[in-house]
Chains A and B, each alone.
Chain A
Amino acid sequence: MTATLFAEQTLNGLQFGVMLFLMAAGLTLIFGIMDVINLAHGSLYMAGAFVGGTVTARTGSFLLGVVAGAAAGALIALLLELTVIRRLYRRDHLDQVLATYALILTFNEGVKVIWGPAPIFLAAPEMLSGTVEILPGVPYPAYRLAVICAGVAAALFLGWLIGRTRTGMLIRAGTTHRETVQALGVDVGVLFALVFAIGGALAGLAGVMAGPVLAVQVGMGEQILILAFVVIVVGGLGSVKGAMAGALLVGLADTWARAFLPVLLRGLLPPSSADQVAANLGSVAVYLLMAVVLAVRPQGLFPRHA
């Protein structure tokens, strides 16, 4: 293995991590601020991808598709907040899991009714479809660099929104001192709806951004949802910083395990069983990571102080 290959694989891991972060950010935001566990986040991601794909196809503009996908995510999220999620704030996590599980079933079938069962088309715009030579002899897909930029931008935006703005201050206060915030004349209901919509927009954005890389099809939300949950649990629920750390860690663990385990194990075991063991370990690497992290730090890497 060369140093270049190692560097490339590491970059791959980080890139995958950033993609996961886009998805995990909204999830952890909603959990951290509203204490709601939203399995239907994957459905918002799917909706974003489908709407984004459709708009891109109709208008020919990927940028419009991205905007539409994020807007669709926000809009559906808002609708969900007003009709369903609002009733779940004071419920336990079990009710939230089940209600949003029911939403998954509904959304998957709804998308099938509207768009049909087959996957739909969504490609990167022409100017991002080429490759960029980031290391000597290593062409890297330009679009993936754009994904990294989007992820970093989302992280910065969230950091700014929560840490630096009056809205962010109210959001933070709204979780712990609901009454105080209300006494300031702020409608906490509106505030939470806003947060949920922001989370939905992030999910929709993640969906469109993933479209050119992944299949846009019914059920696409669940696969990434489980990974996103691993990410935010590893990072510490509710922490945006934790989500970033968790996402990068999961991305690296997943990519490194697949890239290097077979090579490493071949030194220890006979080739056939080495490949088998490596493949099996690779399959469960992220879950193993989560189990280890939680066994050592039950609250995740960056626990949120109550």
Chain B
Amino acid sequence: MRERLAAAIGLCLLVAAPFVLEAMDEAFLLSVLTRMLAYALAAAALDLVLGYGGMVSFGHGAFLGTGAYVAGVLLHHRSDGSALVAWPVRIGGTAEALIAWPAAALVSGLLAAAIGAISLRTRGVHFIMITLAFAQMVFFLVLALPQYGGTDGLMVPGRNVLAGASLEGDAPLYWVALALLVAFLAFGRSTMAARFGLALRGARMNERRALALGVPVYRLRLAAFTLSGAVAGLAGAVLANQSSFVSPDLLSWQRSGELMVMVILGGQGTLFGPVLGAIALLAAEEELAAITEHWMLILGPALLLVVLFFRGGLWPLIAGKRGDG
């Protein structure tokens, strides 16, 4: 009950934000919030596999970054009129979000399916490390792409349009990001309470039991991993629009680590927690960086204390209920 109330209040705050900030002549903070929401979406997606599924993926940056690149590359080709694929059929770029964003989710999802298919054969630390290794592979391959900027990244000309409507400006993209996040949270919570979630969570708690019951553990996990990768890709597409820029930095292992930090900071196995974790971490980074050049010297120990002494994360403190994981 208290958790629902907390979630409802959070939603109200996020809905009110554009109006409040507008009134205070701080509309640009909306752009900051949009970035937080995009990361929140990616962190919540990670929570699905990490918190509920018990799969500690150290490579989700690869899915986030891939989604960002798909959206960015499509816009890039659209703006200079060149072909994305010239043969056997010519495929050009597009600015339409209804095409580009599902494409981003699809490509990231397929990548996650491929990486998951191999990685899920392993357990524990091996899983952590193999997902990291695959993400590094994707990272270096993207770095080497000559036509899309390599380490320099890719400037994204303009933004997507949504069913023909412009997303320029702070508010439209904010609303879209918020809608996507809310939709995913609703879907995720419902899924985790449904049969799929029951089996996935059961397999996390006791894989041997689940197998003895005949639960197709591998397939369920692969499905969850793929879904999670796809949603992280979608978050990447939002991020590409927010920053008008995509960079290989999104695919780096530090970004993957940061997504994990967001999940844990907020509280794993809650889906709402990672949203809070994403907002808190990004806000802390900006705030601390403004105070001192040596901000990492504050952020590092602070994170350490959270891991050591606040295992449940922030959300349970508010919602009064521990997460599933």
Interface set of A (CB-CB < 8 Å, partner B): 31, 37, 84, 87-88, 93-95, 97-99, 101-110, 112-113, 226, 229-230, 233, 237, 276, 279-280, 283-284, 287-288, 290-291, 294-295, 298-300
Name the B residues within 8 Å of A101 (CB-CB).
257, 260-261, 303
A93 to B264, CA, bound (A): 13
Interface-located stretch among B118-126, B186-194, B226-234: B118-126
Contact across chains for A298 and B137 when beta carbons are under 8 A apart: no
Give 13 new A-B contacts, CB below 8 A, not counting A93-B128, A291-B133, A294-B126: A37-B125, A87-B308, A94-B264, A99-B304, A226-B132, A276-B146, A283-B144, A291-B134, A294-B118, A294-B119, A294-B122, A298-B122, A300-B126
Contact across chains for A226 and B125 when beta carbons are under 8 A apart: no
A130 to B274, CA, bound (A): 55
Contact across chains for B300 and A105 when beta carbons are under 8 A apart: yes
A93 to B54, CA, bound (A): 11
In chain A, what residue has the closest Cβ to B258? Answer: A101
Name the A residues within 8 Å of B146 (CB-CB).
276
Name the A residues within 8 Å of B88 (CB-CB).
none
Determine which of A87, A109, A288 lies in contact with B297 in the assembled complex, contact meaning CB atoms within 8 Å. A109
A290 to B302, CA, bound (A): 34
Contact across chains for A283 and B141 when beta carbons are under 8 A apart: yes
Query: Is B319 at the interface (CB under 8 A from chain A)?
Result: no
Contact across chains for B129 and A103 when beta carbons are under 8 A apart: no
In chain A, what residue has the closest Cβ to B253? Answer: A226
Map CB proximity to A onto B14-56 as digits: 1 under 8 Å, 0 otherwise. 0000000000000000000000000000000000001000001
Contact across chains for A284 and B307 when beta carbons are under 8 A apart: no
Name the A residues within 8 Å of B124 (CB-CB).
93
Name the B residues within 8 Å of A31 (CB-CB).
125
Determine which of A97, A110, A279, A291 lies in contact with B137 in the assembled complex, contact meaning CB atoms within 8 Å. A291
A299 to B58, CA, bound (A): 18
Do A110 and B128 form a contact, CB below 8 Å, given A94-B260, A283-B140, A291-B118? no
Which of A226, A298, A300 has the most chain B CB within a 10 Å cutoff? Answer: A298
A97 to B260, CA, bound (A): 9
In chain B, what residue has the closest Cβ to A101? Answer: B257
Do A105 and B299 form a contact, CB below 8 Å, given A233-B130, A279-B144? yes
Query: Is B166 at the interface (CB under 8 A from chain A)?
Result: no
Name the B residues within 8 Å of A295 (CB-CB).
118, 121
Interface size on B, residues (CB 8 A): 42
Contact across chains for A105 and B121 when beta carbons are under 8 A apart: no
A104 to B257, CA, bound (A): 11
Name the A residues within 8 Å of B301 (CB-CB).
102, 106
A113 to B298, CA, bound (A): 13
In chain A, what residue has the closest Cβ to B134? Answer: A291
In chain A, what residue has the closest Cβ to B124? Answer: A93
Contact across chains for A284 and B137 when beta carbons are under 8 A apart: yes
Query: Is B311 at the interface (CB under 8 A from chain A)?
Result: yes
Query: Is B136 at the interface (CB under 8 A from chain A)?
Result: yes
Contact across chains for B125 and A298 when beta carbons are under 8 A apart: no
A81 to B304, CA, bound (A): 14
Contact across chains for A284 and B261 when beta carbons are under 8 A apart: no
Query: Is B4 at the interface (CB under 8 A from chain A)?
Result: no
Contact across chains for B304 and A106 when beta carbons are under 8 A apart: yes
Please give me the 10 A-B residue pairs with the lowest Cβ-Cβ distance, nearest first.
Answer: A106-B300, A105-B300, A102-B303, A109-B296, A102-B304, A283-B140, A298-B122, A109-B297, A287-B137, A99-B307
Map CB proximity to A onto B263-299 as digits: 1 under 8 Å, 0 otherwise. 0100000000000000000000000000000111101
Q: Closest CB of chain B to A277's CB: distance in Å? A: 10
Name the B residues within 8 Å of A300 (CB-CB).
126
Q: Closest CB of chain B to A172's CB: distance in Å? A: 19
Which of B119, B136, B140 has the most chain A CB within a 10 Å cutoff? Answer: B136
A287 to B143, CA, bound (A): 15
Which of A87, A95, A97, A276 has the most chain B CB within a 10 Å cutoff? Answer: A97
Q: Closest CB of chain B to A86's CB: distance in Å? A: 10
Q: Closest CB of chain B to A100's CB: distance in Å? A: 9
Do A102 and B126 form a contact, CB below 8 Å, given A94-B50, A284-B137, A295-B121? no
Name the B residues within 8 Å of A298 (CB-CB).
121-123, 126
Name the A residues within 8 Å of B295 (CB-CB).
109
Q: Closest CB of chain A to B89's CB: distance in Å? A: 23
Q: Closest CB of chain B to A202's CB: distance in Å? A: 19
Contact across chains for A280 and B261 when beta carbons are under 8 A apart: no
A37 to B264, CA, bound (A): 17
7 cross-chain CB contacts under 8 A:
A84-B308, A94-B56, A99-B307, A106-B301, A294-B119, A295-B121, A298-B122
Determine which of A95, A102, A233 lies in contact with B129 in the assembled complex, contact meaning CB atoms within 8 Å. A233
Q: Closest CB of chain B to A51's CB: distance in Å? A: 19
Do A37 and B128 form a contact, CB below 8 Å, given A84-B308, A279-B144, A287-B134? yes
A101 to B301, CA, bound (A): 10
Name the B residues within 8 Å of A37 (CB-CB).
125, 128
A294 to B295, CA, bound (A): 38
Q: Closest CB of chain B to A295's CB: distance in Å? A: 5
**Residues of chain B in range 101-146 having any CB-CB distance to chain A below 8 Å:** 118-119, 121-126, 128-130, 132-134, 136-137, 140-141, 143-144, 146
Determine which of A98, A283, A290 lies in contact with B130 in the assembled complex, contact meaning CB atoms within 8 Å. A290
In chain A, what residue has the closest Cβ to B130? Answer: A294
Q: Closest CB of chain A to B8's CB: distance in Å? A: 30
Contact across chains for A93 and B56 when beta carbons are under 8 A apart: yes
